[in-house]
Amino acid sequence: MDELAGRVSAIVLGILQDAGLPHIGCRCARCAAAFDHPEQAGRAACLALVDWRVEPAQVWLIDATPDVKGQLNDLRAALGPHPGRPARLRLPDGIFLTHGHMGHVGGLPQFGPEGLAAAGLALHASAALADVIRGSAIWRPMLAGIVWHRLVAGEPVSLAPSLSITPLAVPHRDEWGAGTFAFRIQGPSRSLLYVPDIDRWQEWPAARATVAAADVALVDATFFSVAELGGRPPVAHPLVPDTLDYFAADISKLVLIHLNHTNPALDDGSAERALVYASGATIARQGQVFPL
């Protein structure tokens, strides 16, 4: 990653819905192919922020997914060796949590004593989400290594000179009353909006203005159509065509992320993927880098 030296970047570490690709127990053609050919598998949506202006680079994750082992390994050049255990990677400088669903916190136990045995890991979350995690006995082995930092909607957190992250409250199904955050990242030159989960754009009054104010917006693209649900009740995510229509005025800023394993836009050559690109939007790629 020598080409990133001296820069601040956001790196896409996964583009899939919480359960990734292949999906557990699924034998659809897409998942069967991914089981049979691991190179076709995909990781749960996750974003890294890397400040390459310092040595060693500073690294932050947005969410701790069930795929966190591979995602940290993808950041090995930025993380470098642990100062006391050179055969291991250094801890990230912090993890920011969007919300409490499985694909966003399911990797946290990997930092506990059975895994990385982290000490002093900075975990940034809403007070309500922190209370939910701290209040569950199953999380206790991990908690000893955590340093909590409270996030408040609308209050920016300074990460480094000319680099900040601001949590934004968005509507999303909320079983624990802990809320959901999107994040706005402001870098030295560019800004990025990250909204992996939301119920409906119309329920977030600031949605259009917030996308318009960003240079690039990675947004929820879980489902393309209700046909993917197989007759189940509607799931709280906007459909891709609705998202493209809603943000037509800023369509070139949209980068779709958090795709479910059923989403045909994952398939090269599909009509649904062609529709996305014809609109002016794009689909995130694992490993994609956004200079900030």
**Phi, then psi, of 234 in degrees rounded to 5:** -55, 140
**Domain limits for position 102:** 2-291
Q: Is residue 121 helix, strand or coil? A: strand
- Residue 253 region by backbone torsions, left for phi larger than 0, else alpha for psi between -120 and 50, else beta: alpha
Q: What's the pLDDT at 5?
A: 67
Q: How far apart are CA 69 and CA 252, in angstroms?
A: 32
- pLDDT for 236 equals 80
Contact 88, 132 (CB under 8 A): no
pLDDT of residue 3: 57
Label the pairing between strands 8-14 and 289-291.
antiparallel
Residue 124: predicted pLDDT: 98
Residue 138 is part of a domain; what is its CATH number? 3.60.15.10
Confidence (pTM): 0.96
Q: What is the pLDDT of residue 166?
A: 99
Average pLDDT, consecutive stretches of 10 residues, N- to C-terminus, the chain (292 residues): 76 98 95 96 98 97 98 97 90 97 95 93 97 91 93 98 98 88 98 97 98 99 88 82 98 98 96 98 98 98
Number of domains in the chain: 1
Instruction: Return the pLDDT at 6.
Output: 79
pLDDT reported for residue 102? 94
Give the span between the Cα atoms of 162 and 93, in whole angstroms: 17
